Amino acid sequence: MKRALLAALMLGAASLFLPAQITNAPAAAAPANPYPDAIPAPQVISRAEAALAEYPAPDAAAPDPVEADVRQDMADKSGELHLFASETGNLLAQNPSLDSLRTFENHGTYFAKFPATWSQSLSERATAIG
């Protein structure tokens, strides 16, 4: 209690004897616009619509031949992949030997080549389209 009273007295005395900080400096100018090329909010939608009008959407009636091939190939491989996954699950449930596990590597290598081929085909098509 005595410390609080002493602190209050010291603050009061300091305010009587210390001059107040008064500055006559002008207020700081508003900072420059950090984004001078920014599009004003009311114009965003109209500019976006104008940009979309410049680039027409691709014809939806004509599917991409590469995409169609990849989709068909995926559908063809779907049954094989599900069968492999089922057999793998059954074999793993039996705590197989290392020799049995090595067969997974062979099958996995067979199945791993398909996504890589599809990815390469799609990448080449995307590059061709630009």
For the stretch 95-122, pLDDT in tens is 888 887 777 777 777 777 778 887 888 8
Higher pLDDT, 58 or 18: 58
Give me the pLDDT at residue 2, please.
63
Question: Coil, strand, or helix at residue 41?
Answer: helix
pLDDT, averaged across the chain: 75
Q: Closest Cα partner for 66 from 127, 122, 1?
A: 122
pLDDT band at 51 (very low <50, low <70, confident <90, very high): confident
Q: Name the residue ranges covered by the structural domains of the chain.
A: 65-129
- As a whole number of angstroms, the distance between CA 42 and CA 46 comes to 8
> Which of 4-18, 24-38, 54-68, 112-126 comes out lowest in average pLDDT?
4-18
- pLDDT (tens digit, 9 = 90+) per residue, 84-98? 888 888 888 888 888
The whole-number average pLDDT for the span 53-74 is 78
Give me the pLDDT at residue 128, please.
82
